[in-house]
Chain A
Amino acid sequence: MTDSHPIVRFSSSRFGDIEIPEDRLISVPDGIIGFPDFTRYALLDPSGGQSLFLWLHSVDSPDLAFIITDPLSFVPDYQIETSEPDLDRLGISGKEPPALFVIVTVPENDPDMISANLLAPLLFIESDSTLHQIVLEKGNWPLRYHLLAEERCDTGAGSAGEVR
């Protein structure tokens, strides 16, 4: 790597010690839902570009990491509707359209029931390495969309509906 940026070192309970250039840190200003205190992450690709999945790994907590994927490779009609005030609030209006990721869960005892959280996607602004998680209140996107199983959604997964 010809990068002259300082190196950030952190440890991962899953992957051991990791080093990345500081400019590749990802800022998550509000944190991931349920983990508001952790705002610095790194994108890891242990497969070296071979996998559909990446890891969004906290730099400040060795245990805290999420498997993420591009939802459009599974759900081509996946759309997020964000209003201008939403984009303003996130500070991303006027920037390039964000790249979309969703969090994936792989049940330990039944990996084929792998599911993606389409209800609360991640918006990644590459130009300033910032990521925001939003909750889609419209569109009825499921909390657990099964990527492999024939039955796509849990029944009773709960519809979105208006929160506020």
Chain B
Amino acid sequence: MLVLSRKKDEKLMIGEDIEVTIVEVKGETVKIGISAPPEVKIYRGELLDAIHEAARQPAPDLTELDRKLRAKKEK
């Protein structure tokens, strides 16, 4: 993995048309601005992880979950 150090307001380019700007650095949080063509999809890593996890799951016992969820609603 390429690791670069950047300061606030500094940019880096990915290819010709994706521009990444460090907008703010505060404690453990970094705010990043990204300019990219609309066809470039930008997602948080944890969203992709969660959807991959959802896609991998075997068929669970939904009957039991249906029962519990309905019981919870009636409460």
Contacts and interface: CB of A to CB of B under 8 A. Distances in A.
**Interface SS majority for chain B:** helix
Interface residues of A, number: 39
Interface string B58-69: 111111111011
Which residue, of B55, B57, B68, has the highest number of chain A Cβ atoms within 10 A? B55
A148 B65 contact: yes
Contacts of A15: 59
Interface in A79-113: 89, 103-106, 108, 111-112
22 contacts: A33-B41, A35-B51, A35-B55, A36-B41, A51-B66, A52-B69, A53-B62, A64-B55, A66-B54, A66-B55, A67-B60, A74-B69, A105-B57, A108-B57, A111-B61, A117-B54, A120-B51, A135-B43, A144-B50, A148-B68, A157-B46, A158-B44
Interface of B: 34, 36, 38, 41-44, 46-48, 50-66, 68-70, 72
Given A63-B56, A105-B50, A108-B57, 15 more contacts: A33-B47, A34-B52, A36-B41, A50-B66, A51-B62, A51-B66, A52-B70, A64-B55, A67-B54, A74-B69, A103-B54, A135-B47, A143-B50, A148-B68, A158-B44
